[in-house]
């Protein structure tokens, strides 16, 4: 009887591990879908809108981990602004992180900020976002950074 109890506990442990691994894989799969069908089209639309203004955009994606866009202003040989959406390691849901970084001027070092990605959006609603939601957030973060950079004394 006692032997059966520890055996049930051991089996429950392995079942719990299986569930955790399944949830982590689902989170990675959902993140990849989010990147492919929502974020990448947003980056492409933003790139097309900024190109006539001479603003260069580059973006890249690391499968299951992060997606990143870099915005370089005209006549600038350095990176100016970065926006990176990240899936935390071992995540069980789409509770994403956002890292932004930028330079106040050509000689300044890159200043980084990290926090929750769209904290008002629940993890289960991330896949319901539109590319416009992503573009608006990028523009908002870019404005906040540039306004602060242009008005903060050196």
What's the pLDDT tens digit per position in 12-54?
Answer: 999 999 999 999 999 999 999 999 999 999 999 999 999 998 8
Question: pLDDT per residue over 54-102, tens digit each?
Answer: 888 999 999 889 999 999 877 765 668 999 999 999 999 999 999 999 8
Q: What is the pLDDT of residue 115?
A: 94
Query: Closest Cα to residue 121, out of 91, 99, 148, 95?
Result: 95
Helix (H, G, I), strand (E, B) or coil at 14: helix
What mean pLDDT is predicted for residues 125-139? 96
Distance CA 72, CA 116 (A): 24
Most confident of 1-5, 70-74, 138-142: 138-142
Distance CA 68, CA 99 (A): 9
Helices of type H across 35-130: 40-50
The answer to whether the CB of 68 falls within 8 A of the CB of 60 is yes
Specify the residue for token string 């050509």: 106
State the chain's mean pLDDT as an integer.
Answer: 90
């Amino acid at each position: 009887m006692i032997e059966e109890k520890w055996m049930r506990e051991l089996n429950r442990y392995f079942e719990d591990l299986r569930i955790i691994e399944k949830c982590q894989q689902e989170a990675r799969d959902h993140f990849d879908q989010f990147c492919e069908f929502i974020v990448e089209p947003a980056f492409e639309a933003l790139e097309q809108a900024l190109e006539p203004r001479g603003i260069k955009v580059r973006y890249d994606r690391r499968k299951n981990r992060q997606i990143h866009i870099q915005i370089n202003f005209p006549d600038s040989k350095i990176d100016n602004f970065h926006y990176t959406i990240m899936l935390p390691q071992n995540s069980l849901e789409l509770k994403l992180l956002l890292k932004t970084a930028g330079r106040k001027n050509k000689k300044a070092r890159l200043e980084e900020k990290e926090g929750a990605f769209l904290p008002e959006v629940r993890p289960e609603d991330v896949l319901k976002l539109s590319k416009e939601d992503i573009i608006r957030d990028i523009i908002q973060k870019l404005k906040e950074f540039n306004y602060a950079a242009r008005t903060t004394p050196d």
